[in-house]
Amino acid sequence: MAMSAVVSSWLFPVIFTTTLAALVQNYQTNKPGQELERACYNDVGCFDNVGSFKHMKVLPQSPNEINTTFLLFTPESKTNGTILTKTLLLSNAKTEQVNWKNDMFVLVHGFGQFPFWMAPMKDALVDQNNNVIIVNWTSGSVGPNYYQAASNTRVVGAVLADFVSTLVKSLKISLNRLTLVGFSLGAHACGFAGKNLSGLSLDPAGPLFSGKESEARLDSSDAEFVQCIHTNGQSFFRGGLGSVQPMGHVDFYANGGLVQSGCADGLEEIILDLFHLNGTILEELTCSHSQAPVLYIETIKSSSFSQACQFTSVSCDSPNSWFQGKCFNCIANGDLPAFGYKLTEQKQFKGQYYFTTLPKNKHHETYCGKQYGFNIIPDQAVKGSITLTLMFSNLHSMNFTFQHIDETLEENSHAIKISAVPEFYPEITNITIIYEKYSSWIWKNGPDEWVLKSLSLLDMECNICQHCFRFYYYVVEWYNVQRANLVSPNVQKLSKRGKNTRSESERTGHQQNGYNSGHVRQMLCNNMSVRISNVQHGKICTIWAH
């Protein structure tokens, strides 16, 4: 059996409040001599809060209170599910018409009410000729008490293990054709079930599970093959509700696994987005978390197409190494795994793998894109933001943040930062480099100007474009340029011969992003000696492919 885990959650304030309340009570809960509590339930065993589970604070509720139910959907019955019980399975009633030779996926939700992702994931799996069982334990997962819901995953896991055992024995289903898919707390419920079976996990919940012993959380020993995807593993106190801790045979980290592209990074940005009415509270708090099931659903839907885009991933030992550009690899150096639905057919992969996606955007139908590695070699250490504007032959463009304002690109750096572009975009024709130096009263500032010794573009097929660019830059004399408003300057297009495509009269007074420039002039630069200036000085470098 395989397992897939998704770490996502529901209402952050609820989890935050209940977790803090439990931390305040921690001393009282662990007073010496306090009587240990223990609860035993028919068919699922006994549970206590000692040893690996002493952090849980509360005992799980009974199976009757949690009321876990199982709803079966098949290719023949996609919309009308059949409620399954142990009695029904043992009697074979209403199950004779089901093709039990199909692969079986068991979906388990996390904290809160019935989640948005279950119906589309069920539909996508059934469309691939799979049987799907939806596990509903909302009576035990509903807020506001996150501690209680987290503790209840132990009983849900035990009930699920008992149900699957009955399913396998009564219907002669092979465990090799069974996959448990758990989301948030559901990932750990799958883990508890899988300790007696095996499974697949989608981004396991972090609070109350990260850093705990393997018996108290999802672990690679819980299944024959455990696949995890991490989408929101940053600190809980920065708004993270997932975990960065490896918990499977293969752990995938989308966009570094901490926060997703297009989502707020930390509580500060969440508050700012809400202040500017950029989204609802629920959307902002769950943005990165909700990516996990969405990415998995995308891999299911695309699995029927031989040339479909894949989340090809590279081996990396930590998010820090990924963000520092130390992990780029390509297919010629060995097979690379692709996260998702088809990975269970490639169980030889083990370890931690990273991939990048397109940002969350209503204009993108998919998150999968062609992944490119970019290497910039400066002549000195450069502290400040470096943004690349990629222009394609169809005149589309997109921005890629190569480096943030407080980061440093070292002299002669070999860092390769990875970005995804839409699969249907044609070749990159030119790249504009926008540099803004780091300025501080305390720390060392970034340089006003530095020399770009080379820029390399690599793809996942090991094609490298290192000396195929011709360098130009503009010197633009802006009137009243303000950094806060300079978001993505639109540098006018140059021909590949270096001639300006506009007439002299058009170039004079050319408007860039709302600002009138008194004069624009273009220079052909030495291919190995291009000077990059702080954007406030009005110089922007554009690099053209031959």
Selected catalytic residue, list 4, 8, 151, 184: 184
In 103-145, beta strands by DSSP E: 104-108, 131-136
408 alpha carbon, distance to own chain's centre:
25
Angle at the Cα of 66 from the Cα atoms of 74 and 60, rounded to 5 degrees: 130
Euclidean distance between CA atoms 412 and 431, whole angstroms: 20
Is 203 catalytic? The answer is: yes
- The CA–CA distances, whole Å, from 504 to 96, 301, 494, 509, 524 equal 80, 52, 14, 10, 18
Query: Could you say which of 203, 219, 222, 251 is catalytic?
Result: 203
- At residue 95, what is the residue type? T
- Which candidate in 230, 249, 289, 510 is catalytic? 289
Q: Is the Cβ–Cβ distance between 442 and 518 less than 8 Å?
A: no
Judged by DSSP in three states, 38 sits in strand
Measure the CA–CA gap between 312 and 125, rounded to whole angstroms. 21
In whole angstroms, how far apart are CA 227 and each of 106, 322, 449?
Answer: 15, 20, 46
| CA separation for the pair 2, 187 (Å, rounded) | 12
Q: What DSSP state is assigned to residue 317?
A: S
Helix (H) or strand (E) holding 155, with range, is helix 146-171
Is residue 317 part of the annotated active site? The answer reads no
Residues 307, 103: Cα–Cα separation, whole Å: 23
289 is catalytic: yes
* Contact between residue 105 and residue 133 where contact means Cβ atoms under 8 Å apart: yes
185-194 vs 146-171: helix axis angle to the nearest 10?
40
Among candidates 108, 300, 136, which has minimal Cα distance to 203? 108
Q: Active-site residue numbers?
A: 184, 203, 289
